[in-house]
Structures are given as structure tokens and as C-alpha cells.
């Protein structure tokens, strides 16, 4: 088991949650993940990372699979201009590779916002630290576990 996958499993365990991690196959995109999990596209939690232009701090936006993050709305929430986080920064700060960034188990904490669309479902699926593993979770529990703020940041 990879270090990344172990961190996600440990985060679930430390929170007293069941280990719902599965190897689903190729899940690098929301479409692939939805097909692999047999769920609606919007039940997939996309972990989208941005980097503060002036601060260099990472900001995480958890959005429904069919939604896109609006850069202007995201920047307003972060109170600074945001740009895409590069691969090296993502790996160094989260411990995850692009395509497998989980919403939990990050190496360093950073602010997190969550898309209200995810709250329409009983269960959502998120990356579990690799491009092939996902876990299921109640979106309300995910919001609490990540200390995410519910906010409108999509196009």
C-alpha cells in the first residue's frame, strides 16, 4: 500500500470512520471515477488546488464532478488572486500526485471550501491518494472532517 493511500486510510480511521477505500481502476478524471464507481458525475468530489499569487499558500476547493471552479469566485473567497498550483507544490504540500489528490490526509493544512452541490447526495466518492483508489463518504461528514466552508465558487 502506498504512503498516500495509507495516509487517507489513517485519516478515516482516526476520525472513527469505516475504511471505504476501493481500488476502482482508472479514476484520474471525474468521468472515469463516476464510471468506475457506478455513480452520477456530480457524486465525484474533485479536489482542485489553487496557489495564492502573493502568499504562495495552497487553497483547496472540493467541487462536484460536473462543476468547474470559477477563478474569480475562488479568489474572492481566498481574499487574494489565485493561480493553478504546479505539480511540485501540490506534491510537496499535500503528499499527493495530481489525479489522486484526496480531500483528507494532507501533509500540511490549508483552507478548504466545499461545493453545495455535493450536499444533494447521501454518498459521494473522492480520490484516496492514488489515481486508482477512491473512498465513499457522506458529504456532511466530509465537510466536517475537512473543516471545509460551504460556499458558491463554481461557474
Write out pLDDT tens, residues 1-23: 799 999 999 999 999 999 999 99
Residue 135 within a domain? yes
Residue 1 is predicted with a pLDDT of 75
Q: What is the pTM of this model?
A: 0.95
Residue 127 within a domain? yes
- Full residue range of the structural domain in which residue 15 is found: 3-150
CATH at residue 89: 3.90.960.10
Number of domains making up the chain: 1
Residue 80 within a domain? yes
Residue 155 within a domain? no
In which region does residue 45 sit, left (phi positive, over 0), alpha (psi from -120 to 50) or beta (all else)?
beta
What is the per-residue pLDDT across 78-104, written as a single tens digit (0 to 9) for each?
999 999 898 999 999 999 988 899 999
Phi, psi of 152 (to 5 degrees): -90, 110
What is the per-residue pLDDT across 35-90, written as a single tens digit (0 to 9) for each?
999 999 999 999 999 999 999 999 999 999 999 999 999 999 999 999 989 899 99
Amino acid at each position: 500500500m502506498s504512503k498516500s493511500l495509507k495516509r487517507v486510510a489513517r485519516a478515516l480511521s482516526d476520525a472513527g470512520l469505516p475504511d471505504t477505500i476501493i481500488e476502482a481502476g482508472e479514476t484520474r478524471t471525474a468521468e472515469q471515477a463516476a464510471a468506475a464507481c457506478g455513480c452520477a458525475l456530480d457524486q465525484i468530489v474533485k479536489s482542485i488546488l489553487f496557489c495564492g499569487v502573493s502568499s504562495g499558500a495552497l487553497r483547496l476547493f472540493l467541487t462536484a464532478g460536473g462543476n468547474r471552479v470559477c477563478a474569480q469566485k475562488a479568489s474572492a473567497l481566498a481574499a487574494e488572486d489565485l493561480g493553478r498550483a504546479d505539480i511540485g507544490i501540490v506534491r510537496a504540500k499535500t503528499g499527493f500526485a495530481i489525479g489522486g489528490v484526496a480531500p483528507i490526509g494532507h501533509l500540511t493544512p490549508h483552507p478548504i471550501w466545499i461545493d453545495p452541490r455535493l450536499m444533494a447526495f447521501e454518498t459521494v466518492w473522492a480520490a484516496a491518494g492514488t489515481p486508482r483508489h477512491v473512498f465513499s463518504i457522506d458529504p456532511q461528514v466530509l465537510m466536517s472532517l475537512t473543516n471545509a466552508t460551504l460556499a458558491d465558487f463554481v461557474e
